[in-house]
Chain A
Amino acid sequence: MTPALRKLRDLFDDMSADVPDNHRRIAQLERRIRDDNRRRAFAVTGVTLLTAAGVLIPAFLLPGSAVPPRETTTAVQPAAELPPRFTSGDGSAYRRLASATLKAKSKGEKKASLTVPVSGKPLEVAALCPEGNPADLARPRVIVNGEPSSNGFQQCLTRQGTGMVLGSVSAPKGAEQVTITFDITDGGCVPKKDEACPTRTFLQPTDWPLAVYEYTPPARPVEPDPVEAFPARRETLKLAGQASGVWPRKSSFALTVTSPGGYFGIDHLCTGDLADRLSISYRIGDEPSQGERVCGHRTLDDTNALLWSEKVPKGTKITISGKVRMRGGHPNRQTRWSVGVYSSKIVKLVR
């Protein structure tokens, strides 16, 4: 082992050596497990009772009903089943074209295909996120007429509980019908060039209710709700600058900030029904792009971890820019985005 790696290993050993004793851990765990069981039982009972009482389903099934825009998305609405029709928060009227259940657990199926007509309206695929830890489950990847789609129901990974998630798919130009295949072979992995899919023996097969929808977007652009303001201070971070806009009217920004001698952290918030399909790619000064970060979180209590810059010398001006991209979507389904840049001088040393 090299000296640098030995130092790292020693540091890990030393910094974690003072393990606090917790004699009550087993008792605390038992209480958490009891609470967890109660919560899960309540959630199942609640959905069943609401469905039985006709409370939940009609809210989704009213075709074309004028539901006022609100700060929820189709991706996070609870659903007991994939409904034949529903209206999203921004007034888009969804109609189910076909549905199937990929019975990976009960019948060992690996693929399910649906062929649907193409009317020219936007197409979307939907799934009900199954029970259990989504990171443990093989998710289906989506293939459109033999071509891999970027959609893989990733939203199931970044949310609590179960429910319906939706994603855009595009039909080839001029196609009158399209065949959409849901495939969980290799755990839904889409292999990158020259790189095989990882072995994922731990992924559990499960049954996936799936569907293909088309939707009629709202006739006029729907104004998304305001974004919660970034606080001027967060702990010891100071708000150094902010930018905002509404997709598709504005899809980029550039902010120039002056370093107090430390690091910059970037956060973002979005509102609108398609907020969790909007992503922002950032560029900090001369650094290459940091990749796209999805903007699906809506409150400051539920935010992405900050994207941090490298250390910037005191007094240096640095430009932070971003490009906003929407996966699928429709111009009338607008999404408001807001970016806050925070500065911190020195990172606290824990020890």
Chain B
Amino acid sequence: MRDKADFVAFVEARSPRLLRTAYLLCRDWTQAEDLLQTALVRVWRAWGRVGEHPDAYVSRVLVNTHLSWRRRLWRRELPTDAPPETVVPDDEIGMTDERAVLWAALGRLPPRQRAVLVLRYFEDLPESVVAEILNCSIGTVKSQSSKALAKLRIDPEVAPTAVASRTEGERR
């Protein structure tokens, strides 16, 4: 039976990583902390039933909490009239600009597609685990991931740099 000491130890050990995941989902540190704590409260309610490896369960609660917020609330990145950051003078290969536009393009993905990318390429989770977390089939994970990557590649702002690096091997 897992107890409070287990829970506290888990929170202390895993919070920094979970907070990073939360940030990549909602793109705001304050919201990320709120999202993490909301998810952990829900996890605590089920802590006695969570097995010896709670990571997948916690990820699922975190992602589902985020998606339910997205359905309910006006919580998203704020568009602005301000121009995007410009390339810094010493950025000879335009890397900063490329990353900035890729980050912006990620922000425009539907939340579920962004979640797939975060779980696959930040959390390094296999498709089967992502499917379980998102309560969908592996085929859906594959298609969502593929659509998301396709959107990033075809985004006109990303195209000149990020898309150029695409190889034939990536087209599937």
A8, A158, A199, A263: the one contacting B102 at CB < 8 Å is A8
Pair B23/A16 contact, Cβ less than 8 Å: yes
- How many residues from B make CB contacts under 8 Å with A? 77
Q: B125 in the interface, Cβ–Cβ < 8 Å?
A: no
Q: CA A262 – CA B12 in complex, angstroms?
A: 42
Pair B80/A350 contact, Cβ less than 8 Å: no
Chain B, residues 136-161, CB within 8 Å of chain A (1/0): the string is 11111000000001001101110000
Q: Quick one: given A2-B170, A7-B102, A7-B162, are A235 and B79 in contact (CB under 8 Å)?
A: yes
Task: Scan residues 1-56 of chain B and give those whose CB is less than 8 A from a CB of chain A.
Answer: 8, 11-12, 15-16, 19-21, 23-24, 27-29, 33, 37-38, 40-42, 44-46, 49
Pair A198/B131 contact, Cβ less than 8 Å: yes
Q: Quick one: given A2-B167, A135-B68, are A348 and B24 in contact (CB under 8 Å)?
A: no
Instruction: Give the residues in chain A near B91, CB-CB below 8 Å.
Output: none
Pair A11/B99 contact, Cβ less than 8 Å: yes
Task: Scan residues 102-117 of chain B and give those whose CB is less than 8 A from a CB of chain A.
Answer: 102-104, 106-108, 111, 117
Q: A346 in the interface, Cβ–Cβ < 8 Å?
A: yes
Q: B169 in the interface, Cβ–Cβ < 8 Å?
A: yes
Instruction: Give the residues in chain A near B44, CB-CB below 8 Å.
Output: 29, 33
Nearest-neighbor residue (CB-CB) of B136 within chain A: A198
Q: A302 in the interface, Cβ–Cβ < 8 Å?
A: yes
Instruction: Give the residues in chain A near B49, CB-CB below 8 Å.
Output: 204
Q: A9 in the interface, Cβ–Cβ < 8 Å?
A: yes
Instruction: Give the residues in chain A near B41, CB-CB below 8 Å.
Output: 29, 32-33, 36
Q: A345 in the interface, Cβ–Cβ < 8 Å?
A: yes
Q: CA A222 – CA B149 in complex, angstroms?
A: 47
Instruction: Give the residues in chain A near B77, CB-CB below 8 Å.
Output: 347-348, 350
Instruction: Give the residues in chain B near A77, CB-CB below 8 Å.
Output: none
Q: Quick one: given A29-B11, A202-B60, A302-B73, are A346 and B170 in contact (CB under 8 Å)?
A: no
* Total A-B contacts with CB atoms under 8 angstroms apart: 177
| A315–chain B nearest beta-carbon distance, Å | 16
| A67–chain B nearest beta-carbon distance, Å | 27
| B18–chain A nearest beta-carbon distance, Å | 10
Pair B80/A236 contact, Cβ less than 8 Å: yes
Pair B74/A300 contact, Cβ less than 8 Å: yes
Pair B132/A236 contact, Cβ less than 8 Å: no
Q: Quick one: given A15-B103, A19-B20, A195-B139, are A304 and B37 in contact (CB under 8 Å)?
A: no
| A182–chain B nearest beta-carbon distance, Å | 19
Instruction: Give the residues in chain A near B37, CB-CB below 8 Å.
Output: 25, 28-29, 32
Q: With contacts A8-B121, A305-B74 known, what are 13 further pairs, Cβ within 8 A?
A: A8-B117, A8-B152, A20-B29, A22-B19, A26-B11, A33-B44, A133-B64, A135-B60, A235-B78, A236-B78, A305-B70, A346-B81, A351-B103
Nearest first, the 5 A-B pairs at minimum CB distance are A344-B79, A16-B20, A12-B122, A348-B80, A198-B137
Q: What residues make up the interface of B, taking CB atoms closer than 8 Å to A?
A: 8, 11-12, 15-16, 19-21, 23-24, 27-29, 33, 37-38, 40-42, 44-46, 49, 57, 60-61, 64, 68, 70-74, 76-85, 98-100, 102-104, 106-108, 111, 117-118, 121-122, 131-132, 135-140, 149, 152-153, 155-157, 162, 165-167, 169-170
